Amino acid sequence: MMTSLENPLHWRLMEAGDLASVSAVAKEVHPEFPEDDAVFLNRLVLYENGSYVLENGSTIIGYAVTHPWKSFNIPALNTVLSALPEHSDTYYIHDIALLGAARGSGAAGKIISIVASHALVSGFKTMSLVAVNGSSGFWEKQGFEVANRPDLEPKLKTYSDDACFMLRQLHLPHACVR
């Protein structure tokens, strides 16, 4: 499913009609972390303002799935949620996946900025995620820090041996003082 970048890349909110393309991207990018199509639909239905697709023209070449969640409570992989927590206190990045053609384009940084702005406007003070596949260095460049918590180790191992929980503090932009 390799696509050349002939058109400008554009992030937009995901729609139900995008799910087949999102599933195809997930299968290519994350073969070792398979998730059923029902998981993507579930997150879209539970929090429609947190799921995005990356388009190159009319072709979807990436996605991001995010939603409110509870701090230091890691959702299990490939699990349909019955509801989002009532008193969510962090904005959780479930997944960001980009096909090879989009990597290095700045698209990942752009969606993280979009998601961080959304989280801040929605009243969250932190964003959190589980980093896998040695991606913690990328996330650190995006302002995330590893949260070493022994109580999370058993659940992190269900993701992968190198999985780590990461947290980013959100701050209002500094106002100019005259």
Q: What CATH number did the domain enclosing 160 receive? A: 3.40.630.30
- Which pLDDT value is given to residue 151? 94
Cβ neighbours of residue 2 under 8 Å, at least 6 residues apart?
99, 100, 101
Specify if 158 maps to a domain.
Answer: yes
DSSP helix/strand/coil, 22: helix
- At residue 173, does pLDDT exceed 80? no
* End-to-end Cα distance, the chain: 52
- At residue 172, does pLDDT exceed 90? no
Q: What phi-psi label fits residue 134: left (phi over 0), alpha (psi between -120 and 50 degrees) or beta?
A: left
Specify if 178 maps to a domain.
Answer: no
How many folded domains does the chain comprise? 1
- Which pLDDT value is given to residue 178? 47
What residue ranges in 34-73 does DSSP mark as E strands?
Answer: 51-56, 59-69
Give phi and psi for 21, each to the nearest 5: -70, -40
Q: Identify the band that residue 6 occupies on the pLDDT scale cut at 50, 70 and 90.
A: low
Q: Residue 40 belongs to what domain range?
A: 9-169
- Which pLDDT value is given to residue 133? 87
Specify if 174 maps to a domain.
Answer: no
Instruction: Give 88-139 pLDDT, tens digit per residue.
Output: 999 999 999 999 999 899 999 999 999 999 999 999 999 999 999 899 999 9
